[in-house]
Amino acid sequence: MNQPIRVGEKVVLKIEALANSPDGIGKINNFVVFVPYVVPEDEVKVLITEVRKNFARGKLLSLIKPSNYRVKPICASFGECGGCHWQHIDYKKQLEYKDLLIKNAFSKIEAKIKPIIPAKKIFYYRNKSQFPVDNFNKKIGLYALKSHYVVDLKECNLVLNSINDVYREIKKYLEKVNYNILNLRHVVIRGSETQGSLLVVFVLKDENLEKVESLIKYIKQKFSFGSAKDCRYNENGNSFISILCNINDKDTNVILGDKTIKIYGDGILKEVLDGIEYNFSSLSFFQTNTEQTLILYRLIKSYINDNKDSIALDLYCGVGTVALFIADKFKEIIGVDEERSAISDARDNAKINNIKNCKFLYGKVEDILVKLIRDNMSVDTVILDPPRKGCNKDVLLNLRKLNVSNLIYVSCDIATLARDIYILIEEGFRVEEIQPIDMFPNTYHIETVVKMGKQGSKKIEKEKAKMK
Ligand SMILES: C[S@@+](CC[C@H](N)C(=O)[O-])C[C@H]1O[C@@H](n2cnc3c(N)ncnc32)[C@H](O)[C@@H]1O
């Protein structure tokens, strides 16, 4: 295709749709132009910043005619900060678009796709944020879209109020000392929605903790008795805020380093969902929208029949959340995760909740599945909840060798989800239902649950024999 435009050109576009990315889509003579921070039906003036073989990218210069679906973003930095992408789109339209993106991703299969379950809270829902610090330019905030440029923020409208309370105090302190804590790279703040406690991690370039000492003292004084708005003081006498330092001297995109030092508090956060207590430490994964997580876990449970004689696998189990939530449905559940702290938290969580039929294994799902197949294990149900990049292909190919009948695939990325579901269909599974849940309002991200059953194949027995 001949590219009808060049870098540096200014063009007028009508936005036709939203992509599965922060971008909207417009066209010039059928040539696609991706532009972030626009709304379907906007007429916009755009500066072309990149031209590839089949598409171009542009930057919004001005709005010629705004779409009826535009709303005023509540964040003054919207459009500059990369933290959220859809704050300027009416929430109903956001949901419609998420439904459409799912429909497009699964256009090749016949499946019951249910409308997305909306979120009750579209702001102040995230229980975790990682704020980069730019000491040179004296800023703390979030990165601009696809960049390491720090956008200075007063607060973030997506995170819990308690996180903002601490964030504002940290920012105030850094401004007072003129950003002189030169080894401070990131501030990670996590909050418990159901319990109200907080965990702050100062990510440092080196182990020189003295530099951050007075900031820690300041935050400890302000928050140890629960002065943040939506926090309760923990009556058990445990500290309500935990403060940790993490050392990361590597020059990569990974925020947390390998060494974490507890400075104050127990370093643990707790959430309680339907009476089950989940404790997790600073490095362990926990879903970022606690309120919607309860809906997600209840949905997963509703997809499971009582299978008291059978075994289930919770693959990519984090701190054991799903396994413990559905434990009463099975004889045994085996959870697997490659993060050591998550497995240690999962084992503690089983003890705390007095759940005896869950076992948690540390390691890569890829490796542990092979061991289970060698042990001739037969598994009735598998829950898959991989990170954004989806499952390794071998994991998908090995599932049928365990005689799996029911599969529940939870994903936060529809592109890798669709890729993996097509492989699973080839492997003899069939899609029964697709249910998206809005865990990430005001962003393009979609959480989706796919329920699958099996449809027999002789291929599996042959493959299994080959592995022995
Ligand atoms: C999206 S989280 C899911 C956690 C859990 N299901 C929950 O709801 O809290 C993905 C988890 O997969 C783990 N993980 C990523 N790659 C892995 C792999 N190859 N093998 C085992 N665990 C992995 C991460 O440590 C993380 O805890």
Q: Indicate the residue type of 25.
A: I
Taking only the tens place, the pLDDT of each residue in 127-184 is: 999 999 999 999 999 999 999 999 999 999 999 999 999 999 999 999 999 999 999 9
Is residue 274 within 8 Å of residue 324, measured between CB atoms? no
Q: How far is the CA of 70 from the centre of ligand 1 (A)?
A: 36
Which tokens sit at 1?
A: 């295709």
Strands 198-204 and 241-247: parallel
pLDDT at 202 over 90: yes
Asked if 412 is an active-site residue, the reply is yes
Which residue in this structure is represented by tokens 């759940």? 355
**How high does pLDDT run on average in the chain?**
93
Q: If you average pLDDT over residues 341-354, what whole number do you get?
A: 96
Q: Which domains does the chain have, with CATH numbers?
A: 10-103 (2.40.50.140), 106-119+289-467 (3.40.50.150), 128-272 (2.40.50)
Rounded CA gap, 64 and 71, in Å? Answer: 16
Q: What pTM value is reported for the model? A: 0.92
Mutate-to-test residue for ligand 1 from 324, 338, 411, highest number of ligand atoms within 8 A of CB = 338
User: Under DSSP, is residue 328 helix (H, G, I), strand (E, B) or coil?
Assistant: helix
Per the DSSP assignment, residues forming a β-bridge with 205 are: none
Which tokens sit at 340?
A: 């050591």
Q: How far is the CA of 387 from the centre of ligand 1 (A)?
A: 6
What is the 3 state secondary structure string of 72-88?
A: CCCCCCECCECCCCCCC
| Predicted local confidence at residue 444, as pLDDT | 97
CA-based R_g, the chain, Å: 24
Q: CA–CA distance from 119 to each of 129, 296, 372, 424, 457 (Å)?
A: 19, 11, 38, 29, 40
Rounded CA gap, 268 and 279, in Å? Answer: 6
Nearest CA to ligand 1 atom 13: 316
Strands 139-143 and 128-134: antiparallel
Taking only the tens place, the pLDDT of each residue in 204-222 is: 999 999 999 999 999 988 8
Rounded CA gap, 358 and 412, in Å? Answer: 25
Which residue in this structure is represented by tokens 């090749």? 108
Nearest CA to ligand 1 atom 4: 318
Per-residue burial over 372-395, b = 16 or more CB atoms within 10 Å of its CB, e = otherwise: bbeeeeebbbbbbbbeeebbeeeb
Q: At 110, is the pLDDT very low, low, confident or very high (cuts 50, 70, 90)?
A: confident
Give the position, in ligand 1's atom list, of the atom nearest the Cα of 293.
8
Strands 128-134 and 184-191: antiparallel
Binding-site residues, ligand 1, Cβ < 6 A: 285-287, 316-318, 321-322, 336-339, 342, 364-366, 385-387
Q: At 233, is the pLDDT very low, low, confident or very high (cuts 50, 70, 90)?
A: very low
Using CB atoms within 10 A of its CB, is residue 210 exposed (0-12), middle (13-18) or buried (19+)? exposed
DSSP string, 166-182: HHHHHHHHHHHTTT--T
Q: At 266, is the pLDDT very low, low, confident or very high (cuts 50, 70, 90)?
A: confident
pLDDT at 327 over 90: yes
Q: CA–CA distance from 272 to each of 120, 129, 321, 322, 333 (Å)?
A: 19, 20, 10, 13, 20
